[in-house]
Amino acid sequence: MPPPLWPARLHHLRRDSPDPERLARFYGELLGDAVQALPGGEWCVTGRRRSLVVGRGDPGAVPYFGLEMRSAAHLAAYRAALERAGLACEASPSPLFGPGAFCVADPDGRRALFGLPRAAGAASAGPNGRLQHFVCASTRLEALLAFYRDALGMLESDRVLEGEALAAAFLRSDPEHHSFAAFRAPESRPDHHCYETSGWADLRDWGDRMARLRVPLWWGPGRHGPGNNLFFMVEDPDGHKVEFSAELEVMPKEAALRSWPHEQRTLNLWGSAWMRS
């Protein structure tokens, strides 16, 4: 039996930078969110159904991301299942999760966190867009897929194949198409994180906001094949990509895995694509 992860939703992630205050204030302005200094030199950026921890570290790094569980009982049952399977569960490093939160290390050394949020402080009423998924690139794609699917219990929604070789995998932890995905690449690194809006009009409004802030669109607008979502991407000051999305596909728990060819049209049905390998 797979561990009882379903349903769990991405709650927050940590972005690192040599200048964490600068990066936190960039995201605060980009998203219209509240920025708060935390003990130990970390910063928190909080808005409507989205949170980001910013710490000191390598530019573009994402040392962890956190999934919110359904309840304390769900969290405890999930940890017990992972420990029975032999996974090493460690204390969560996140200031945003409360007691009982824990983490495990994936094959690239990144921490996947599981927990329940602490009582939220004041958050901004910025534009609509909840934190929805995190994506990385890896030289160990097959190992990452096995870890997140087989060890942690995520469900594989779509995969991208170059011949018989795996080029990308999209996994879900609740009915939305993916909360985590990974691409094959020449180096292991973060790829992007995404804010999901309620529709095309929101995406238009975010685009207008980027124009007012003089933040150029890096890729898009377009429509992905896997997930079928509308999107565009921008870059933060450290080169990490930030996606704004709408109409992400919803898949029932029993939906079958699908395969796509490794070509530009798979990643953007409307035109050119960012090919990681």
pLDDT in tens, 43-89: 999 998 999 999 999 999 999 999 999 999 999 999 999 999 999 99
Length reported for the chain: 277
Tokens of 113: 């966190």
| Beta strands at 180-184 and 189-196: parallel, antiparallel or unpaired | unpaired
**pLDDT bucket at 122, cuts 50 / 70 / 90:** low
Residue 113: what residue type? L
Per-residue pLDDT, 1? 78
Neighbours of 240 (CB within 10 A): 21
Q: CATH code for 130-267?
A: 3.10.180.10
Rounded Cα distance between 236 and 153, Å, is: 31
pLDDT tens digits along 171-195? 999 999 999 999 999 999 999 999 9
Q: What angle do CA 76, 80, 84 make, to 5 degrees?
A: 175
* Fold of the CATH domain 9-115: 2,3-Dihydroxybiphenyl 1,2-Dioxygenase; domain 1 (3.10.180)
Where exactly are the structural domains of the chain?
Answer: 9-115, 130-267
